[in-house]
Chains A and B, each alone.
Chain A
Amino acid sequence: DVKVTQSSRYLVKRTGEKVFLECVQDMDHENMFWYRQDPGLGLRLIYFSYDVKMKEKGDIPEGYSVSREKKERFSLILESASTNQTSMYLCASSQRTGVSNQPQHFGDGTRLSIL
């Protein structure tokens, strides 16, 4: 069965801290994505990656960076956390090409609170 695993379901950090959110997939997918979800705004794409060491900015990359050193792992980094980054973060992965029933498989999400 397909699996996208996010390292934490709940996380509480302080303003100014450097925060790492980890995502691992076991499906050998090329593509990986990070979204944040906020009430009334839906899912917004932060960054995505089509291959190891590659990254592309999404719609709201400011304040974030990413790392993709291995195919199965995609890390989201908050360089200096701020309260407006309190949100639900969702990781997803997908195959590069071809037709599959689900374009993206999602993790369970991380609820991050910045105090």
Chain B
Amino acid sequence: AQKVTQAQTEISVVEKEDVTLDCVYETRDTTYYLFWYKQPPSGELVFLIRRNSFDEQNEISGRYSWNFQKSTSSFNFTITASQVVDSAVYFCALWKGNTPLVFGKGTRLSVIA
């Protein structure tokens, strides 16, 4: 069975601090994809990144970076120099291809000015 665990339910940081959101997954498949979505207060789910299981290269996009480690089944997300606009619920998800996404329960990030 596939499972995604986001152990941090809520995180609160002061603006300009760095923050890391943890994601641990379980799957028996060798081919799979991992995702992060952002859900701001307005409610829509915004796609942030996708990684496939064969590509462990870390990725940086502006203030966002992702650390994928198959050895620990983790796909952590770091926001550098956080801003108030980063306040949202962040979801990590696992996908086997042509099946529904398996979501974690989400981490609510609050960035305080």
Contact = CB atoms under 8 A, between A and B. Distances in A.
Interface string A14-58: 000000000000000001010000001111010010000000001
A88 B41 CA distance: 12
B95 A103 contact: yes
A41 B89 CA distance: 12
A111 B33 CA distance: 29
B44 A109 contact: yes
A45 B4 CA distance: 14
A45 B100 contact: yes
A92 B46 CA distance: 12
A84 interface: no
The A interface, classified by DSSP as helix, strand, loop or mixed, is loop
Given A40-B9, A109-B44, A48 B98 contact: no
Interface in B24-59: 33, 35, 37, 42-45, 47, 50
Contacts of B101: 103-104
B98 to A, nearest CB: 6
B75 interface: no
Question: For this complex, into which size category does the number of interface residues on chain A fall?
Answer: 20 to 34
Contacts of B42: 108
Contact of B35 (A42, A103, A108): A103
Contact of A106 (B9, B44, B95, B98): B44
Nearest to A4: B44
Contacts of B43: 9, 88, 108-109, 111
Contacts of B103: 42-43
Contacts of B6: 42
